[in-house]
Amino acid sequence: MSQIKPTSTNFSNKTALSDECPEAYASSIIGGQWTLVICSWLLSGKLRFGELKKRLPNITERMLTLQLRKLEQNKIVSRVVYAEVPPRVEYELTSIGYALQPVIKELEKWGESHKQLTNE
Amino acid sequence: MSQIKPTSTNFSNKTALSDECPEAYASSIIGGQWTLVICSWLLSGKLRFGELKKRLPNITERMLTLQLRKLEQNKIVSRVVYAEVPPRVEYELTSIGYALQPVIKELEKWGESHKQLTNE
DNA sequence: CTCATTACTTACATTTTTGATAGTACCTAA
DNA sequence: TTAGGTACTATCAAAAATGTAAGTAATGAG
């Protein structure tokens, strides 16, 4: 599922940074292009795959799946499959997932003020 | 200097996300592999190019230059060149750069607790 | 039997980011 | 005149992330 090479310089650099530097570690986990937006939506409650897709109009199903899988691996979201047809799958933040709230709030605040600054 | 294609889907997705979503915007600015570590070091005061390099043992000069240029473009660091030989160049956070402190603090906190959780 | 619905998967292509390596310019001191 | 220190730049290559397009499985409704 993952196509990363454990022998690459890139990989060992990331690993070393993550080891020494918790903010780099955090960024490597939530730094994907769609990750924060997904988590933002999930902060207001669990959502089905299709509901997430609707809220992220430009994401492909492939990317949504990949991001959700990564979030699941990192224990940030939980995935519940109902034995129905057509299938129903619900995604919900775990407690460490909900703990992202203050991080996201600070990022938002900073983002807003940076945007304002550079629009002058 | 930048090799991004303004016609790509990727580019327009990033743009749209950054427009609607300040946390995605922030992440696109400080989400580079070395960005947060560089800012972390600069939080404790200005540093010369070579000093930064020493503190980031595995970074190449090229990457350090690229990251610093991007930070400069985004008004997060200022660059002061002294007319000396050999050259001396100092990098320092701007005020919006120093404003990253709470963001970094939250990221650190979250990173630590996530690390702890996944080590059990 | 056929179709519709939902949540995927697979194979491939493109774009973006990162790394390796070898330069360059400048002046000063020896 | 030559070497040395500093902060780069230029080219090329590799790796990683993202996008495109076309499937698949399951089953209940008609």
pLDDT on residue A120: 76
* pLDDT above 80: residue A95: yes
What is the average pLDDT across A30-43? 97
In a domain, residue A94? The reply is yes
Cβ–Cβ of B108/A23 closer than 8 Å? yes
Number of structural domains chain A divides into: 1
Model pLDDT for residues A39-80, shown as the tens digit of each residue? 999 999 999 999 999 999 899 999 999 999 999 999 999 999
pLDDT on residue A119: 84
Strands (DSSP E) found in A1-120 = 47-48, 77-82, 88-93
Q: Please report residues of B whose CB lies closer than 8 A to that of A74.
A: 114, 118
pLDDT on residue A98: 98
Q: Cα–Cα distance between A83 and A71 in angstroms, integer? A: 22
Range of the domain at B55: 35-110
In a domain, residue B78? The reply is yes
In a domain, residue A45? The reply is yes
Q: Are residues B60 and B98 in the same domain?
A: yes
What is the average pLDDT across A90-114? 98
Q: Cα–Cα distance between B25 and A33 in angstroms, integer? A: 10
In a domain, residue A38? The reply is yes
In angstroms, the CA of A88 and the C1' of D27 are apart by 13
Q: Are residues B97 and B60 in the same domain?
A: yes
In a domain, residue A7? The reply is no
Under 8 Å between Cβ of A89 and A46:
no
In a domain, residue B44? The reply is yes
Block residue for tokens 């022998």 = A7
- Which of the residues B56, B59, B114, B115 would you substitute to probe the A interface, choosing the one with the greatest number of A C-beta atoms within 10 Å? B114
In a domain, residue B115? The reply is no
Cβ–Cβ of A17/B29 closer than 8 Å? no
Positions of chain B with pLDDT under 70:
1-2
Q: Are residues B78 and B104 in the same domain?
A: yes
